[in-house]
Structure 1
Amino acid sequence: MTGLTETAAKRRKQLLRFISTDLLGPIAGKMPKSCIESLEKASSYSDVNSHILDIVPVTEACIVKHEVAAKLPPFIRTEAVFGKKNLYLLRNATVSPHSGMAWIGNRILEESVGSLRRIMDWGDVLHEPLLPARELRIPEPVVICHPASYYHWLFEVLPNVLFAVATFPGVKIVLPENPPRYVLEGLNTALGPEAQRDFLFSAGPIRVERLVVPQYHTQPEFTSPQVLALLRSAVQAKVVPQGPGSKEPNRSGARIYVSRQKSRRRLAGEAELEARLREMGFAVLHCEALSFAEQVRAFHQAEVVVGCHGAGLSNLAWCEPPCRVVEIFPRNYILDCFAWLSFSHGFDYRHVICDTGHKIDERAMEAVIAAAG
């Protein structure tokens, strides 16, 4: 099979540009003009305002600065600004259960996923407004619980669903067909098994009379204190009961290593590191093999957590101080979201960068062992 001719390739490029323009509107600097950046800002326009039934603030804007004794490099940040978070109740809107992307008419709501850049980075969701939408004729409001990756689902999607449930009693939760295990288990943990009667499943976009659109922010790598507190009260407290009458055993002081050997982004040389840590009394956890509740309990018991940067470290949300965290970074991928999570809970945070990319070199291994001890 031969490749496309130059003429055919040019025609295909022109067709894709035409479809993108028809879908997203005129392009300026590769950014569609017809997307709605902020529903609050656009609410003065009659064609937008006619879709807005209510705008409900659920968290306040705040500035958070963590005082950390250790001297940190500039890429480990200790200060962040969080804008207020809204819930929008919209009339006659369409939404995808796979991405949470919502649109009114042919205008995509950036806040439904965080930003236009996130939509364009995902790539495979740009076509969703072109798909046929099924009419969902129910009187109750609807909120989408889309299956983002574990980190983004835990710190963005789940809290937004919890805010919607608390604000709009009777809201129906729409999921795609066959969502990941952690999505259903997390919802059942937070809302109780009886909440399943409010679950609806859809294979594609749906058009609803009343849609709750949570506001997602542009830069989701940091989590606000209000969201962390919500996860503690709505999730952790139901898995690890607190108080005098609790039957849950006290923290065991466990030392755990969060393995990525079963991940597609595994760390070369990890088996040797695991063997060294086992000799020091560490248990090796494969989070993908654990239920949602098992992950909550395991991290709640931990006093030392070591792991390569990855979704498993999202479970630091369930740890209690005092706790030491040692995060291993490949040289070509450093993101401080778990450092921020550690600072938010008052943990002793340390990090090690591998000199050899995605391989645990000897220097890095010794640094991890020293930090973990």
Structure 2
Amino acid sequence: MTSTVTVRATEVVLPAAVEPSGLEVRTRDLPQPAAGQVVLRMDATGVSFAEQQMRRGKYYDQPAFPFVPGYDVVGTVTAAGPGVDAGMVGRRFAAVTKVGSWASHQLIEAADLVPVPDGMDAAAAETVVVNGITAWQMLHRIAKVRAGGTIVVLGANGGVGSTLVQLARHAGISVIGTASPRHHDAVRALGATPVDYRDPDLYARLRALAPGGVDAVFDHVGGAGLTRSWSLLRKGGTLVSYGTAATKDDEGNSQLPVLLLLARILAWNALPNGKGAHFYNFWAGRRRKAAFRQRLAEDLTQVLRLVDEGVLTPQIAARIPLAEASAALELAESRTVAGKVILVP
């Protein structure tokens, strides 16, 4: 049954390349859901590194300004368009949107929704949507590290990093994680051995902890340090690069750091050294929409199950109202918190 109730949505808008204080809050009436669409009321969304780059105009393929950011969302279906199962109304789902989720309500394709277990806290589920899928796919679909192996996770206190640590430990993998000293207790509590990422002898310390090399390095930093991450691998090991944080403040073409990184990875993979390098792209394969959706749903369902079973502990840095998105973005960019900053209604 199609709803005809007009929904007034509150949205946070990125008007241009601005400081966090430049975000704008607007309201608008949503159109009625079209065939295959639903209205999703936001219960929790979050601040990821993508939004931090988008507000600078530095994200690889972001839309033109102005737009509503928000990479993922957990929410409740309040209305269904033609052809959508009416039983979805009133139930909680998660979705990856890339943009658009910093809003009280949004229109979304019903096929993009993944059920959230009954009774699960929305903020807890939100912490593992993009972060959980990313960590799961990098560990299990790309690196394929087996029990008994050892990995290095750069930024082990972050949203993806803390999830990676927990997934690896659950799989019987030893973890060495970099973080600032203020987060070492938290990293240790997750089951990893912490190392100060600012230590001038960082890579020597990492090698000392795994003198035979490691099975995988997960590197979101990129830049000059990527070569040193590559050097930590044992024969048969895998480097998974999934970001270029080292170049986040660089001026110029936002695509250049990624293109240079891809060229370096291709060169390494051409060498007969028995090691592999990969650049993780969350959206790889999206042109085959049905297969992409199925893979995403399978992996997120696995991660949400582990949260529901208490295996994964969501790392929530703070819960901040949507209208205070500027403060949430500033907090996320301060690098003083562990886990994910969550926006709530």
TM-score (norm 1): 0.25
Higher relative contact order (CA 8 A, sep 6+): 2
Q: Which has the greater radius of gyration?
A: 1
